[in-house]
Structure 1
Amino acid sequence: MHRRSEIARAAREVLLADLSRRVTIPELARVCGTSPTVLKEAFRAEFGMPVYAWFRRRRMIAAARLLVWTDLPVHEVARVVGYASASKFARAFAACLRLGPSAWRERYGRVRQWGRRCLSRLRPHCHVTASSPRSRAGG
Protein backbone atom coordinates (compact mmCIF):
# COMPACT_ATOMS: atom_id res chain seq x y z
CA MET A 1 0.00 0.00 0.00
CA HIS A 2 2.89 2.35 0.71
CA ARG A 3 4.11 2.02 -2.89
CA ARG A 4 0.70 3.04 -4.25
CA SER A 5 0.69 6.14 -2.09
CA GLU A 6 4.09 7.08 -3.52
CA ILE A 7 2.79 6.57 -7.05
CA ALA A 8 -0.22 8.81 -6.42
CA ARG A 9 1.89 11.53 -4.84
CA ALA A 10 4.41 11.41 -7.68
CA ALA A 11 1.59 11.77 -10.19
CA ARG A 12 0.22 14.74 -8.24
CA GLU A 13 3.62 16.46 -8.37
CA VAL A 14 3.88 15.92 -12.13
CA LEU A 15 0.42 17.40 -12.64
CA LEU A 16 1.04 20.39 -10.36
CA ALA A 17 4.32 21.19 -12.08
CA ASP A 18 2.46 22.65 -15.07
CA LEU A 19 -1.30 23.18 -14.95
CA SER A 20 -1.37 24.15 -18.62
CA ARG A 21 0.10 20.85 -19.80
CA ARG A 22 -2.08 18.17 -21.36
CA VAL A 23 -1.17 14.84 -19.78
CA THR A 24 -2.58 11.43 -20.65
CA ILE A 25 -2.98 8.65 -18.11
CA PRO A 26 -0.56 6.35 -20.00
CA GLU A 27 2.04 9.15 -20.15
CA LEU A 28 1.61 9.91 -16.45
CA ALA A 29 1.84 6.21 -15.61
CA ARG A 30 5.10 5.91 -17.58
CA VAL A 31 6.60 8.88 -15.75
CA CYS A 32 5.59 7.32 -12.43
CA GLY A 33 6.92 3.89 -13.39
CA THR A 34 3.64 2.01 -13.24
CA SER A 35 0.69 0.88 -15.33
CA PRO A 36 -2.29 3.12 -16.12
CA THR A 37 -4.60 0.86 -14.10
CA VAL A 38 -2.41 0.93 -10.99
CA LEU A 39 -1.99 4.70 -11.33
CA LYS A 40 -5.75 5.29 -11.53
CA GLU A 41 -6.46 3.00 -8.57
CA ALA A 42 -3.66 4.49 -6.46
CA PHE A 43 -4.69 8.05 -7.25
CA ARG A 44 -8.33 7.48 -6.39
CA ALA A 45 -7.38 5.71 -3.16
CA GLU A 46 -5.03 8.53 -2.12
CA PHE A 47 -7.04 11.59 -3.20
CA GLY A 48 -10.63 10.32 -3.31
CA MET A 49 -11.29 11.11 -6.96
CA PRO A 50 -10.08 10.18 -10.45
CA VAL A 51 -6.93 11.78 -11.85
CA TYR A 52 -8.65 14.00 -14.41
CA ALA A 53 -11.32 15.19 -11.96
CA TRP A 54 -8.61 16.10 -9.45
CA PHE A 55 -6.58 17.88 -12.13
CA ARG A 56 -9.62 19.83 -13.38
CA ARG A 57 -10.37 20.88 -9.81
CA ARG A 58 -6.79 22.10 -9.27
CA ARG A 59 -6.95 24.04 -12.52
CA MET A 60 -10.17 25.76 -11.49
CA ILE A 61 -8.81 26.63 -8.04
CA ALA A 62 -5.75 28.16 -9.69
CA ALA A 63 -7.97 30.05 -12.16
CA ALA A 64 -10.20 31.36 -9.37
CA ARG A 65 -7.16 32.68 -7.53
CA LEU A 66 -5.74 34.28 -10.67
CA LEU A 67 -9.06 35.99 -11.37
CA VAL A 68 -9.11 37.48 -7.89
CA TRP A 69 -5.45 38.31 -7.36
CA THR A 70 -4.39 39.45 -10.84
CA ASP A 71 -5.72 41.67 -13.58
CA LEU A 72 -5.04 39.09 -16.29
CA PRO A 73 -7.78 38.99 -18.91
CA VAL A 74 -10.01 35.90 -18.76
CA HIS A 75 -8.55 34.49 -21.98
CA GLU A 76 -5.06 34.70 -20.46
CA VAL A 77 -6.19 32.98 -17.25
CA ALA A 78 -7.67 30.27 -19.48
CA ARG A 79 -4.33 29.82 -21.23
CA VAL A 80 -2.39 29.67 -17.95
CA VAL A 81 -4.56 26.81 -16.68
CA GLY A 82 -4.47 24.86 -19.92
CA TYR A 83 -7.44 25.98 -22.00
CA ALA A 84 -6.83 27.11 -25.58
CA SER A 85 -10.40 28.36 -25.84
CA ALA A 86 -11.67 31.04 -23.47
CA SER A 87 -15.26 29.97 -24.10
CA LYS A 88 -14.54 26.33 -23.18
CA PHE A 89 -12.72 27.56 -20.09
CA ALA A 90 -15.67 29.78 -19.13
CA ARG A 91 -18.08 26.84 -19.45
CA ALA A 92 -15.82 24.55 -17.40
CA PHE A 93 -15.27 27.26 -14.78
CA ALA A 94 -19.02 27.95 -14.45
CA ALA A 95 -19.80 24.23 -14.20
CA CYS A 96 -17.22 23.88 -11.45
CA LEU A 97 -17.73 27.06 -9.43
CA ARG A 98 -21.30 27.93 -10.42
CA LEU A 99 -20.28 31.39 -11.61
CA GLY A 100 -18.60 32.43 -14.84
CA PRO A 101 -15.04 33.79 -14.65
CA SER A 102 -16.05 37.45 -15.07
CA ALA A 103 -18.82 37.16 -12.48
CA TRP A 104 -16.37 35.41 -10.13
CA ARG A 105 -13.89 38.24 -10.51
CA GLU A 106 -16.60 40.84 -9.97
CA ARG A 107 -17.99 39.11 -6.88
CA TYR A 108 -14.72 38.02 -5.25
CA GLY A 109 -12.29 40.64 -6.54
CA ARG A 110 -12.83 42.58 -3.35
CA VAL A 111 -11.21 39.65 -1.50
CA ARG A 112 -7.96 41.50 -2.14
CA GLN A 113 -9.05 43.83 0.62
CA TRP A 114 -10.02 41.01 3.00
CA GLY A 115 -6.94 38.86 2.69
CA ARG A 116 -6.21 35.39 1.40
CA ARG A 117 -8.24 33.44 3.95
CA CYS A 118 -11.38 33.64 1.81
CA LEU A 119 -9.95 31.59 -1.03
CA SER A 120 -8.49 28.98 1.30
CA ARG A 121 -12.07 27.75 1.85
CA LEU A 122 -12.79 27.35 -1.85
CA ARG A 123 -14.87 24.22 -2.45
CA PRO A 124 -15.28 23.70 -6.19
CA HIS A 125 -17.97 21.33 -7.44
CA CYS A 126 -15.99 20.07 -10.43
CA HIS A 127 -14.74 16.87 -8.85
CA VAL A 128 -18.00 15.02 -9.43
CA THR A 129 -18.66 12.45 -12.11
CA ALA A 130 -20.33 13.29 -15.40
CA SER A 131 -23.45 11.39 -14.30
CA SER A 132 -24.05 13.77 -11.38
CA PRO A 133 -22.68 17.19 -12.37
CA ARG A 134 -24.24 19.14 -9.49
CA SER A 135 -23.74 16.78 -6.53
CA ARG A 136 -21.12 17.48 -3.90
CA ALA A 137 -19.13 14.30 -3.49
CA GLY A 138 -16.17 14.35 -1.15
CA GLY A 139 -14.56 17.55 0.01
Structure 2
Amino acid sequence: MPDMANPVRFRAGVPVYRYRTDPARPPVSVLRFDWDRQPGHGRRHIHDFPVLMYVEHAGPGEPSGPFGPLADGDAFVVAPGAVIDPTSVAAFGGGTGVFFDPAALGGDEQAPWSSWRAHPLLLPFLHRIPGGLLRLSVPPERQPFWSATITAIETELTGRADGYRQAVLAHLTLLLVDVARLATDVVGDLRRSNEPLLAEVFEAIEQRFAQPLSLRDVADGLGLTPGHLTTVVRQRTGRTVVDWITERRMAEARRLLSGTDLPVAQIARRVGLPDAGYFARVFRAGHGTTPRAWRRAAQG
Protein backbone atom coordinates (compact mmCIF):
# COMPACT_ATOMS: atom_id res chain seq x y z
CA MET A 1 0.00 0.00 0.00
CA PRO A 2 1.22 3.56 -0.60
CA ASP A 3 2.05 5.96 2.23
CA MET A 4 -1.30 7.64 1.57
CA ALA A 5 -3.19 4.59 2.83
CA ASN A 6 -3.34 3.25 6.34
CA PRO A 7 -5.11 0.29 7.94
CA VAL A 8 -8.05 1.53 10.00
CA ARG A 9 -9.67 -1.75 11.03
CA PHE A 10 -9.82 -5.47 10.32
CA ARG A 11 -12.62 -7.49 8.72
CA ALA A 12 -12.44 -11.20 9.56
CA GLY A 13 -8.73 -10.74 10.23
CA VAL A 14 -8.06 -8.94 6.92
CA PRO A 15 -6.70 -5.36 7.21
CA VAL A 16 -8.89 -2.63 5.70
CA TYR A 17 -7.02 0.37 4.30
CA ARG A 18 -8.43 3.86 3.95
CA TYR A 19 -7.06 6.75 1.93
CA ARG A 20 -5.66 9.27 4.40
CA THR A 21 -7.48 12.60 4.55
CA ASP A 22 -5.02 15.28 5.57
CA PRO A 23 -4.58 18.95 4.54
CA ALA A 24 -0.96 18.26 3.64
CA ARG A 25 -1.56 15.11 1.58
CA PRO A 26 -2.46 15.04 -2.11
CA PRO A 27 -5.75 13.44 -3.17
CA VAL A 28 -3.98 11.15 -5.67
CA SER A 29 -0.87 8.99 -5.35
CA VAL A 30 1.07 6.77 -7.73
CA LEU A 31 3.01 3.62 -6.85
CA ARG A 32 5.35 1.83 -9.24
CA PHE A 33 5.35 -1.88 -8.43
CA ASP A 34 8.55 -3.87 -8.65
CA TRP A 35 9.44 -7.42 -7.78
CA ASP A 36 10.41 -6.50 -4.22
CA ARG A 37 7.40 -4.29 -3.48
CA GLN A 38 4.15 -5.98 -4.38
CA PRO A 39 0.67 -4.52 -3.81
CA GLY A 40 -0.64 -5.10 -0.30
CA HIS A 41 2.79 -6.21 1.01
CA GLY A 42 2.11 -9.79 -0.09
CA ARG A 43 -0.92 -10.41 2.11
CA ARG A 44 -4.68 -10.41 1.71
CA HIS A 45 -6.06 -6.91 2.17
CA ILE A 46 -9.07 -4.68 1.61
CA HIS A 47 -9.19 -1.00 0.71
CA ASP A 48 -12.27 1.19 0.82
CA PHE A 49 -11.05 3.61 -1.85
CA PRO A 50 -10.66 3.12 -5.62
CA VAL A 51 -7.46 1.84 -7.20
CA LEU A 52 -6.54 1.76 -10.88
CA MET A 53 -3.68 -0.53 -11.91
CA TYR A 54 -2.01 -0.23 -15.29
CA VAL A 55 0.55 -2.40 -17.11
CA GLU A 56 2.60 -0.24 -19.43
CA HIS A 57 4.99 -2.96 -20.52
CA ALA A 58 4.43 -6.63 -19.72
CA GLY A 59 7.80 -8.32 -19.49
CA PRO A 60 8.17 -11.69 -21.23
CA GLY A 61 9.30 -13.37 -18.01
CA GLU A 62 6.52 -12.08 -15.76
CA PRO A 63 4.36 -14.72 -14.02
CA SER A 64 0.74 -15.19 -14.96
CA GLY A 65 -2.06 -14.09 -12.68
CA PRO A 66 -5.62 -15.42 -12.53
CA PHE A 67 -6.35 -13.72 -15.86
CA GLY A 68 -3.47 -15.37 -17.64
CA PRO A 69 -0.35 -13.59 -18.90
CA LEU A 70 -0.39 -9.81 -18.77
CA ALA A 71 -0.29 -7.74 -21.94
CA ASP A 72 0.80 -4.20 -22.70
CA GLY A 73 -2.09 -1.86 -21.95
CA ASP A 74 -3.88 -4.07 -19.42
CA ALA A 75 -5.77 -1.96 -16.88
CA PHE A 76 -7.43 -3.30 -13.75
CA VAL A 77 -10.24 -1.52 -11.95
CA VAL A 78 -10.03 -2.59 -8.30
CA ALA A 79 -13.33 -2.54 -6.43
CA PRO A 80 -13.35 -0.99 -2.94
CA GLY A 81 -14.39 -3.43 -0.25
CA ALA A 82 -13.20 -6.53 -2.10
CA VAL A 83 -10.69 -8.88 -0.48
CA ILE A 84 -7.62 -8.77 -2.70
CA ASP A 85 -5.50 -11.89 -2.64
CA PRO A 86 -1.75 -11.43 -3.24
CA THR A 87 -1.81 -14.17 -5.88
CA SER A 88 -4.21 -12.02 -7.92
CA VAL A 89 -1.70 -9.21 -8.18
CA ALA A 90 1.58 -11.11 -8.08
CA ALA A 91 2.11 -10.53 -11.77
CA PHE A 92 2.06 -6.73 -11.41
CA GLY A 93 5.77 -6.45 -10.81
CA GLY A 94 6.10 -4.01 -13.71
CA GLY A 95 2.80 -2.25 -13.22
CA THR A 96 1.65 1.06 -11.78
CA GLY A 97 -1.04 1.72 -9.20
CA VAL A 98 -3.03 4.96 -9.12
CA PHE A 99 -4.69 5.42 -5.72
CA PHE A 100 -7.10 8.24 -5.02
CA ASP A 101 -9.65 9.67 -2.62
CA PRO A 102 -13.07 9.52 -4.34
CA ALA A 103 -14.22 12.55 -2.35
CA ALA A 104 -11.78 14.76 -4.24
CA LEU A 105 -13.42 14.08 -7.61
CA GLY A 106 -16.63 15.73 -6.52
CA GLY A 107 -14.85 19.02 -6.03
CA ASP A 108 -16.70 19.39 -2.73
CA GLU A 109 -15.13 17.85 0.35
CA GLN A 110 -18.36 18.48 2.20
CA ALA A 111 -20.12 15.65 0.38
CA PRO A 112 -17.81 12.75 -0.52
CA TRP A 113 -20.60 10.19 -0.90
CA SER A 114 -22.05 12.23 -3.75
CA SER A 115 -19.13 10.96 -5.80
CA TRP A 116 -20.47 7.42 -5.50
CA ARG A 117 -24.04 8.56 -6.03
CA ALA A 118 -23.68 10.87 -8.98
CA HIS A 119 -20.17 10.80 -10.42
CA PRO A 120 -20.39 8.64 -13.56
CA LEU A 121 -16.63 8.16 -13.71
CA LEU A 122 -16.67 6.12 -10.51
CA LEU A 123 -19.36 3.65 -11.53
CA PRO A 124 -16.85 1.12 -12.96
CA PHE A 125 -15.34 0.77 -9.47
CA LEU A 126 -18.66 -0.50 -8.09
CA HIS A 127 -18.47 -3.79 -9.98
CA ARG A 128 -18.84 -7.07 -8.10
CA ILE A 129 -16.53 -9.31 -10.10
CA PRO A 130 -15.12 -12.16 -7.96
CA GLY A 131 -11.65 -11.25 -6.75
CA GLY A 132 -12.38 -7.53 -7.00
CA LEU A 133 -10.54 -6.99 -10.29
CA LEU A 134 -12.16 -5.80 -13.52
CA ARG A 135 -9.75 -6.27 -16.43
CA LEU A 136 -9.82 -3.78 -19.30
CA SER A 137 -7.62 -3.52 -22.37
CA VAL A 138 -6.41 -0.05 -23.32
CA PRO A 139 -6.24 0.20 -27.14
CA PRO A 140 -2.71 0.60 -28.54
CA GLU A 141 -3.46 4.10 -29.79
CA ARG A 142 -4.43 5.20 -26.24
CA GLN A 143 -1.53 3.56 -24.41
CA PRO A 144 0.91 6.49 -24.93
CA PHE A 145 -1.73 8.79 -23.45
CA TRP A 146 -2.11 6.60 -20.35
CA SER A 147 1.64 6.42 -19.82
CA ALA A 148 2.09 10.16 -20.29
CA THR A 149 -0.82 11.01 -18.00
CA ILE A 150 0.42 8.81 -15.16
CA THR A 151 3.89 10.32 -15.55
CA ALA A 152 2.36 13.81 -15.47
CA ILE A 153 0.62 12.97 -12.19
CA GLU A 154 3.92 11.78 -10.73
CA THR A 155 5.64 14.98 -11.88
CA GLU A 156 3.00 17.16 -10.24
CA LEU A 157 3.18 15.16 -7.02
CA THR A 158 6.97 15.47 -6.93
CA GLY A 159 7.14 19.19 -7.68
CA ARG A 160 4.04 20.28 -5.75
CA ALA A 161 3.99 23.66 -7.48
CA ASP A 162 1.05 25.98 -6.99
CA GLY A 163 -2.11 24.31 -8.23
CA TYR A 164 -0.66 20.81 -8.23
CA ARG A 165 -3.71 19.34 -6.49
CA GLN A 166 -5.99 20.64 -9.22
CA ALA A 167 -3.56 19.42 -11.87
CA VAL A 168 -3.37 15.84 -10.57
CA LEU A 169 -7.17 15.68 -10.33
CA ALA A 170 -7.47 16.95 -13.90
CA HIS A 171 -5.09 14.24 -15.14
CA LEU A 172 -6.91 11.59 -13.08
CA THR A 173 -10.26 12.67 -14.50
CA LEU A 174 -9.00 12.14 -18.04
CA LEU A 175 -7.86 8.61 -17.14
CA LEU A 176 -11.23 7.84 -15.57
CA VAL A 177 -13.02 9.03 -18.70
CA ASP A 178 -11.15 6.34 -20.63
CA VAL A 179 -11.98 3.77 -17.95
CA ALA A 180 -15.68 4.60 -18.14
CA ARG A 181 -15.65 4.30 -21.93
CA LEU A 182 -13.84 0.97 -21.83
CA ALA A 183 -16.23 -0.37 -19.17
CA THR A 184 -19.45 0.60 -20.95
CA ASP A 185 -21.13 -2.77 -20.36
CA VAL A 186 -20.31 -2.76 -16.65
CA VAL A 187 -21.56 0.79 -16.19
CA GLY A 188 -24.79 -0.03 -18.00
CA ASP A 189 -25.42 -3.01 -15.75
CA LEU A 190 -24.84 -0.89 -12.66
CA ARG A 191 -27.23 1.79 -13.81
CA ARG A 192 -29.91 -0.87 -14.16
CA SER A 193 -29.25 -2.43 -10.74
CA ASN A 194 -28.81 -0.91 -7.31
CA GLU A 195 -27.57 2.61 -7.99
CA PRO A 196 -30.99 4.18 -7.20
CA LEU A 197 -30.81 2.57 -3.76
CA LEU A 198 -27.39 4.10 -3.11
CA ALA A 199 -28.74 7.49 -4.09
CA GLU A 200 -31.56 7.11 -1.55
CA VAL A 201 -29.13 6.06 1.18
CA PHE A 202 -26.87 9.04 0.63
CA GLU A 203 -29.81 11.42 0.39
CA ALA A 204 -31.11 10.15 3.74
CA ILE A 205 -27.70 10.71 5.31
CA GLU A 206 -27.44 14.16 3.77
CA GLN A 207 -30.78 15.22 5.22
CA ARG A 208 -30.25 13.88 8.73
CA PHE A 209 -26.53 13.64 9.55
CA ALA A 210 -26.69 16.66 11.87
CA GLN A 211 -29.23 14.83 14.05
CA PRO A 212 -29.09 11.50 15.91
CA LEU A 213 -28.96 8.97 13.07
CA SER A 214 -28.41 5.22 13.07
CA LEU A 215 -28.33 2.39 10.55
CA ARG A 216 -31.82 1.37 11.61
CA ASP A 217 -33.12 4.91 11.03
CA VAL A 218 -31.83 4.85 7.44
CA ALA A 219 -33.06 1.30 6.82
CA ASP A 220 -36.52 2.04 8.23
CA GLY A 221 -36.79 5.09 6.01
CA LEU A 222 -36.10 2.92 2.96
CA GLY A 223 -38.28 0.01 4.04
CA LEU A 224 -35.34 -2.42 4.27
CA THR A 225 -33.78 -4.49 7.02
CA PRO A 226 -30.53 -3.10 8.48
CA GLY A 227 -28.65 -6.27 7.54
CA HIS A 228 -29.68 -6.19 3.88
CA LEU A 229 -28.95 -2.50 3.55
CA THR A 230 -25.52 -2.90 5.11
CA THR A 231 -24.66 -5.75 2.74
CA VAL A 232 -25.70 -3.86 -0.40
CA VAL A 233 -23.92 -0.63 0.52
CA ARG A 234 -20.72 -2.43 1.56
CA GLN A 235 -20.67 -4.47 -1.66
CA ARG A 236 -21.08 -1.34 -3.75
CA THR A 237 -18.83 1.11 -1.93
CA GLY A 238 -16.55 -0.84 0.40
CA ARG A 239 -18.07 0.85 3.45
CA THR A 240 -21.09 0.31 5.66
CA VAL A 241 -23.96 2.72 6.17
CA VAL A 242 -22.54 3.59 9.59
CA ASP A 243 -19.16 4.32 7.98
CA TRP A 244 -20.84 6.73 5.56
CA ILE A 245 -22.78 8.47 8.34
CA THR A 246 -19.50 9.01 10.18
CA GLU A 247 -17.73 10.13 7.01
CA ARG A 248 -20.45 12.69 6.29
CA ARG A 249 -20.15 14.08 9.79
CA MET A 250 -16.37 14.20 9.60
CA ALA A 251 -16.46 15.90 6.20
CA GLU A 252 -18.67 18.63 7.62
CA ALA A 253 -16.39 18.86 10.66
CA ARG A 254 -13.36 19.35 8.40
CA ARG A 255 -15.17 22.09 6.52
CA LEU A 256 -16.11 23.91 9.71
CA LEU A 257 -12.68 23.48 11.26
CA SER A 258 -10.87 24.89 8.24
CA GLY A 259 -13.40 27.54 7.24
CA THR A 260 -14.74 28.93 10.53
CA ASP A 261 -13.62 29.88 14.03
CA LEU A 262 -16.43 28.00 15.75
CA PRO A 263 -15.42 26.26 18.99
CA VAL A 264 -14.86 22.52 18.67
CA ALA A 265 -17.77 21.78 21.01
CA GLN A 266 -20.13 23.76 18.79
CA ILE A 267 -18.85 21.98 15.69
CA ALA A 268 -19.48 18.66 17.41
CA ARG A 269 -23.11 19.61 17.98
CA ARG A 270 -23.51 20.77 14.37
CA VAL A 271 -22.42 17.39 13.04
CA GLY A 272 -24.77 15.37 15.21
CA LEU A 273 -22.30 14.42 17.94
CA PRO A 274 -23.17 16.62 20.94
CA ASP A 275 -20.58 14.97 23.21
CA ALA A 276 -17.42 16.94 22.39
CA GLY A 277 -15.16 14.29 23.89
CA TYR A 278 -16.70 11.53 21.80
CA PHE A 279 -16.53 13.74 18.71
CA ALA A 280 -12.81 14.31 19.31
CA ARG A 281 -12.20 10.55 19.65
CA VAL A 282 -14.09 9.81 16.42
CA PHE A 283 -12.21 12.55 14.59
CA ARG A 284 -8.84 11.34 15.85
CA ALA A 285 -9.63 7.73 14.92
CA GLY A 286 -10.33 8.77 11.33
CA HIS A 287 -7.65 11.41 10.87
CA GLY A 288 -4.85 10.49 13.24
CA THR A 289 -4.93 13.91 14.87
CA THR A 290 -7.17 16.08 17.03
CA PRO A 291 -9.72 18.55 15.65
CA ARG A 292 -7.64 21.48 16.95
CA ALA A 293 -4.46 20.16 15.32
CA TRP A 294 -6.36 19.67 12.06
CA ARG A 295 -7.55 23.27 12.25
CA ARG A 296 -4.02 24.57 12.78
CA ALA A 297 -2.72 22.58 9.80
CA ALA A 298 -5.59 23.57 7.53
CA GLN A 299 -5.44 27.25 8.38
CA GLY A 300 -1.79 27.83 8.45
Match of 1:69 in 2: 259
Point out the structure with max Rg over C-alpha.
Answer: 2
2:218 corresponds to which residue?
A: 28
Q: Which protein has greater RCO, CA pairs closer than 8 Å, 6+ apart?
A: 1
Identity %: 32
For 1:35 and 1:94, the matched residues in 2 are separated by: 31
Q: Does 1:14 align with 2:204?
A: yes
Aligned equivalents of 2:217, 2:265: Cα separation in 1: 28
**1:36-51 alignment to 2 at 5 Å?**
36-51=226-241
Report if the CA contact (8 A) 1:93-1:99 is conserved.
yes
- Which aligned pairs between 1:56-95 and structure 2 lie closer than 5 A? 56-95=246-285
Q: What per-residue deviation string (whole Å, max 9, x for no partner) do you get for residues 17-52 of structure 1?
A: 132222232331221122222211221122211111
Counterparts of 1:21 and 1:14, CA distance in 2 = 11
Unaligned runs of 5+ in 2: 1-189
Amino acid at match of 1:89: F
Establish whether residue 99 from structure 1 lines up as the match of residue 294 from structure 2.
Answer: no
Worse-superposed segment, 34-43 or 46-55? 34-43
More helix by share: 1
CA distance, structure 2, for counterparts of residue 82 and residue 103 of structure 1: 21
Partner of 2:187: none
CA, structure 1 residues 38+5, in 2 after alignment: closer, same or farther (shift >3 Å)? farther
- Between the two proteins, the alignment pairs up a number of residues equal to 110
Q: Secondary structure at the match of 2:194?
A: helix
Cα displacement (A) at 1:3:
4.9
Moved over 6 A (4+): none
Q: Using the TM superposition, give the Cα deviation of residue 91 of structure 1 relative to its aligned residue in structure 2, in angstroms.
A: 1.2
**Unmatched runs of 5 consecutive residues or more in structure 1:** 111-139
Determine if contact 1:7/1:39 at 8 Å carries over to the other structure.
no
Give me the whole-angstrom Cα distance separating, in 2, the residues matched to 1:38 and 1:53.
Answer: 15
Deviation string, structure 1 residues 92-132 (Cα, Å, up to 9, x no partner): 1111111101111111113xxxxxxxxxxxxxxxxxxxxxx
Higher strand fraction (1 or 2)? 2
Equivalent residue letter for 2:257:
L
TM-score (norm 1): 0.71
Matched residue type, 2:284: A
Q: Residue 283 of structure 2 contacts residue 290 of structure 2 at CA under 8 Å; is this kept in 1?
A: yes
Distance 1:73 1:9 in 2: 33
CA contact (8 A) 2:205 2:248 kept: no
